[in-house]
């Protein structure tokens, strides 16, 4: 394995088989030149992103090495905590995002995340890693990022799980759930506390319902008598659930069958019942 290009002291481009790949490791490019052999003992990671490799090369050439190293440590920590490999694209998206977030903080631009409540409920493991990451950034780079940034990191990690699609799809799903929660709050005339069990259960149920609809998987059936009871006894909750289903159909083109609407109505009824007791 011979060096084709030096990107920085810790990253080089090599010929590996018929393709060019990026090899990453501490000091792997230090005092090296083209056609020099790679020290195999220093290799930590090998990236093969094909059409995206030039963008990653550009990042490695232009960003401070400490930002790259911190980003890579966050990715490695996440893979260890989640016990699964992340998509190669995370090495671009995470490091690029981290550099952008640090630049915004230097310019005094506030970092916001309007989906933070939903992210905490939906992606608990990823958010916990995001909290660890912002502490790591503070320790390594001396920059204190807000909790909102832990949410952004969580979205990148969730998207990088194998077979989860694009960042855009992750944000769209999370945004849709936020809209559905707001519809419930409007119908109930209250604001759901993000740490409440009712909020958490509803968010998680809606996420699974949307995933099943997107994948075309079957929904759990409901006893017809139970469904009739919900429709008649919990008329307000069922009406709100129908409104949610209409919104999902209109915004995402995904149909919720009647039994699923019934289950959503039960979650909404629990919220209404808790409201009457408070």
Count Cβ neighbours within 10 Å for each residue of 23-55 and write b for 16 or more, e otherwise.
Answer: bbbeebbeebeeeeebeeeeeeeebebeeebee
Expressed in percent and rounded to 5, the helix, strand and coil fractions of the chain are 65, 10, 25
The pLDDT tens digits of the residues spanning 23-58 come to 878 888 888 888 888 888 888 777 765 655 677 777
Helix (H) or strand (E) holding 8: strand 3-8
Q: Which two tokens stand for residue 144?
A: 């204190």
Bridge partners, residue 12, by sequence: 6, 23
Task: Please state the pTM of the whole predicted model.
Answer: 0.73
What distance in Å separates the CA atoms of residue 199 and residue 58, rounded to the nearest whole number?
43
Q: How many CA atoms lie within 13 A of 86 on its CB side?
A: 26
Q: Which two tokens stand for residue 63?
A: 């960003």
What distance in Å separates the CA atoms of residue 122 and residue 206, rounded to the nearest whole number?
10
The pLDDT tens digits of the residues spanning 205-249 come to 899 889 888 877 666 678 889 899 999 999 999 999 999 999 999
Helix (H, G, I), strand (E, B) or coil at 219: coil
Largest CA distance in the chain: 77
pLDDT at 16 over 60: yes
The pLDDT tens digits of the residues spanning 120-162 come to 999 999 999 999 999 999 999 999 999 999 999 999 999 888 5
Q: Nearest Cα to 213, choosing from 264, 178, 161, 156? A: 264
The pLDDT tens digits of the residues spanning 151-200 come to 999 999 998 885 555 788 889 989 999 999 999 988 878 777 776 778 88
pLDDT of residue 143: 93
């Amino acid at each position: 394995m011979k060096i084709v290009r030096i990107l920085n002291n810790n990253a080089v481009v090599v010929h590996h088989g018929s393709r060019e790949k990026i090899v990453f490791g501490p000091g792997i490019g230090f005092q090296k030149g083209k056609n020099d052999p790679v020290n195999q003992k220093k290799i930590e990671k090998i990236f093969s992103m094909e059409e995206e490799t030039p963008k990653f090369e550009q990042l490695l050439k232009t960003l401070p090495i400490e930002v790259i190293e911190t980003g890579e440590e966050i990715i490695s920590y996440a893979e260890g905590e989640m016990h699964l490999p992340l998509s190669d694209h995370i090495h671009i998206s995470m490091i690029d995002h981290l550099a952008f977030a640090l630049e915004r903080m230097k310019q005094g631009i506030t970092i916001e995340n309007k989906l933070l409540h939903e992210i905490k409920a939906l992606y608990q493991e990823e958010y916990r890693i995001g909290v660890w990451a912002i502490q790591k950034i503070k320790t390594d780079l001396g920059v204190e990022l807000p909790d909102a940034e832990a949410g952004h990191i969580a979205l990148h990690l969730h998207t990088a799980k194998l077979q989860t699609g694009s960042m855009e799809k992750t944000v769209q799903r999370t945004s849709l759930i936020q809209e559905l929660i707001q519809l419930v709050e409007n119908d109930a005339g209250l604001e759901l506390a993000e740490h409440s069990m009712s909020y958490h259960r509803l968010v998680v149920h809606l996420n699974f319902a949307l995933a099943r609809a997107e994948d075309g998987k079957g929904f759990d059936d409901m006893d017809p008598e139970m469904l009739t009871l919900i429709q008649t006894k919990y008329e307000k909750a069922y009406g709100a659930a129908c409104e949610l289903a209409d919104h999902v159909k209109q915004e995402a083109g995904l149909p919720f069958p009647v039994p699923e609407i019934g289950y959503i109505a039960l979650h909404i009824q629990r919220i209404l019942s808790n409201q009457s007791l408070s």
